[in-house]
Structure 1
């Protein structure tokens, strides 16, 4: 049938994404440790699938900076250094500052009319993600925090109307979390150790208070750098 090849391609593409998502979650949860090695065959057997979508998923994750390929041997989880983390924070800061500049020029849904009912509803949704992220941070629930934090930033950045920016910032946030998780998982109690200023940022953007928004981002970055550097020295 004419539609069969296309359907097969879609199925494989979907499976590839599902495997990539599952492995990324394993890295973020700390169940795949820095430097841990594995092969395409091992992952394919673990998930009960063929080697092709697994290989494609692993290549995707390598391109995203979460894995590294070992020539003729397989892959291993990338281990991020403190220097890597500083560079990630700098990169995501530049992207976010670009978003704020766009807001100041009236670009994106937030910049054009933050009072529009659809924009207001979207911002309210982002704020709810922020509330959940803050709740998880205060409880020290790292897994829940990461999930809501990533959704928070993806939905917030989407309001600025640039899909390339959304994807790039999401990738930087994931890499930042992987680097942080590799250190935070050693702690038994994270209550009071995690940043929880998401709603402050949304409130500042709603008010178009860019000075306050930048201050919130600066606080977030300083907190993250201080924590990672502290744990790296333990």
Structure 2
């Protein structure tokens, strides 16, 4: 599994967290497939660690809804349904759209412009087909933008929703160049907010989340069951 091997695990105090990050990356890249059961020893061998931190990391992923334990066998990668995708999109829309409008009205131009390097990194990563860099920059951009509203609990809720709605198999869409348009929307959103066009920024965020919903569906289509 190339994405597991490419994220070599170092011997540090937070080994469990490193393993969890590596497994999430493998899920997103499509190296770990929905519906398939994986054992902790086999994944540990791929990562070059013992089975214990893998089991611990898998328990973290189970709490996020990404995997489920299968007795005496290992962990099955969770399959998202169309309803799951719709509900995640609805929740994020309810939270993020009005928050973007509020931030557009209250944040300074300097605060917003500080996010531009991240927005441009998202676009560059999409064009270069670097899926892990794309997701890292995307994650940081969205949470930093919402953080300007000053509500840390709101940011934590959205961060959890983002974890639960990870796109399995994003690598194939990335290779097909399907992420570039979604990536550019981050720059467009920032431009509107810097210009103080809050209502248009809200609509841009609404379109962006709908676009993400389409990508989720396309990425999970082979394994989604109504």
Contact 1:19 1:57 in 2 (8 A): yes
The Cα of 1:38 is off from its aligned counterpart by 1.4
Q: What residue in structure 1 maps to residue 84 of structure 2? A: 84
Provide TM-score, normalisation by structure 1: 0.74
Contact 1:37 1:74 in 2 (8 A): yes
**Change in CA separation of 1:166 and 1:211 when aligned onto 2, cut-off 3 Å:** same
The Cα of 1:201 is off from its aligned counterpart by 1.5
Quick one: distance in 2 between partners of 1:219 and 1:125? 23
Provide TM-score, normalisation by structure 2: 0.76
Quick one: distance in 1 between partners of 2:72 and 2:186? 44
Secondary structure at the residue paired with 2:75?
A: strand
**Change in CA separation of 1:76 and 1:204 when aligned onto 2, cut-off 3 Å:** same
Contact 1:140 1:191 in 2 (8 A): no
Contact 1:20 1:57 in 2 (8 A): yes
Moved more, 30-39 or 184-193: 184-193
Counterpart mapping for 1:32-51 below 5 A = 32-51=32-51
Q: 135, 139, 150: which is aligned to 2:139? A: 150
Q: What residue in structure 1 maps to residue 55 of structure 2? A: 55
Give deviations 1:7-28, integer Å, cap 9, x for gaps: xxxx986111111111111111
The Cα of 1:132 is off from its aligned counterpart by 1.9
Larger Rg belongs to: 1
**Change in CA separation of 1:214 and 1:186 when aligned onto 2, cut-off 3 Å:** closer
Q: CA RMSD in A?
A: 3.0
Structure scoring higher RCO (CA < 8 A, sep ≥ 6) equals: 2
Secondary structure at the residue paired with 1:22?
A: helix
**Which 4+ runs in 1 deviate beyond 6 A?**
none
**Change in CA separation of 1:138 and 1:41 when aligned onto 2, cut-off 3 Å:** closer
The Cα of 1:204 is off from its aligned counterpart by 2.5
Gaps of 5+ in 1: 1-10
Give deviations 1:175-210, integer Å, cap 9, x for gaps: 4342572xx626852257641210222222333322
Q: Is 1:198 aligned with 2:201?
A: no
Q: What residue in structure 2 maps to residue 20 of structure 1? A: 20
Counterpart mapping for 1:1-234 below 5 A = 14-97=14-97, 99-100=99-100, 103=103, 111=106, 114-115=108-109, 120=110, 122-138=111-127, 141-179=130-168, 181=170, 185=172, 189-190=176-177, 194-195=181-182, 196-229=184-217, 232=221
Contact 2:35 2:77 in 1 (8 A): yes
Aligned residues: 210
Gaps of 5+ in 2: 1-10
